[in-house]
């Protein structure tokens, strides 16, 4: 069992930055991959980024490469998503998720493979 709580969302102007945090509890944090997803109104949930058990491997959706950075601190049981150069189209509810069946240092992008989800945090980027 894993419990996830996101924080750090808010309202920011285009070009600004936000840092999202995802605090995990339950199963040993360093034993599973983490992902960030987002969902805008009327759109399906979208993969943003993922990070492997140790943090050695990361992967990003094309539209986030160079702007977003995923990281994790296994000592603090927390994953992060640093978002820079934000655009109005980045407006969405952002979710962190745990892939507890991931292999060591593997990364998966399909949301249906993620077993536990946080409640989401709203990010709004104004133009």
Query: By the 8 A CB rule, do 90 and 81 touch?
Result: no
| Rounded CA separation 127/117 (Å) | 29
Query: By the 8 A CB rule, do 94 and 20 touch?
Result: yes
**Interval 23-54: pLDDT, tens:** 999 999 999 999 999 999 999 999 999 999 99
List % helix, strand, coil for the chain (3-state, nearest 5).
Answer: 10, 50, 40
Output 18 or 103, whichever has higher pLDDT. 18
Indicate the length of the chain as a whole number: 127
| Rounded CA separation 10/14 (Å) | 12
User: Of 127, 118, 116, 126, which Cα lies nearest the Cα of 39?
Assistant: 118
CA 73 to chain centre: 13
**Interval 68-116: pLDDT, tens:** 999 999 999 999 999 999 999 999 999 999 999 998 889 999 999 999 9
Q: Indicate if the pLDDT at residue 20 is higher than 90.
A: yes
């Amino acid at each position: 069992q894993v419990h996830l709580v996101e924080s750090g969302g808010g309202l920011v102007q285009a070009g600004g930055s936000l840092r999202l945090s995802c605090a995990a509890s339950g199963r040993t944090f360093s034993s599973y991959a983490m992902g960030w997803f987002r969902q805008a109104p009327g759109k399906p949930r979208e993969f943003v980024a993922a990070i492997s058990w140790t943090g050695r491997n990361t992967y990003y959706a094309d539209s986030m490469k160079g702007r977003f950075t995923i990281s994790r601190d296994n000592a603090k049981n927390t994953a992060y998503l640093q978002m820079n150069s934000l655009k109005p189209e980045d407006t969405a509810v952002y979710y962190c998720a745990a892939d507890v069946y991931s292999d060591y240092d593997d990364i998966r992008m399909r949301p249906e493979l993620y077993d536990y989800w946080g409640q989401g945090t709203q990010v709004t980027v104004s133009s």
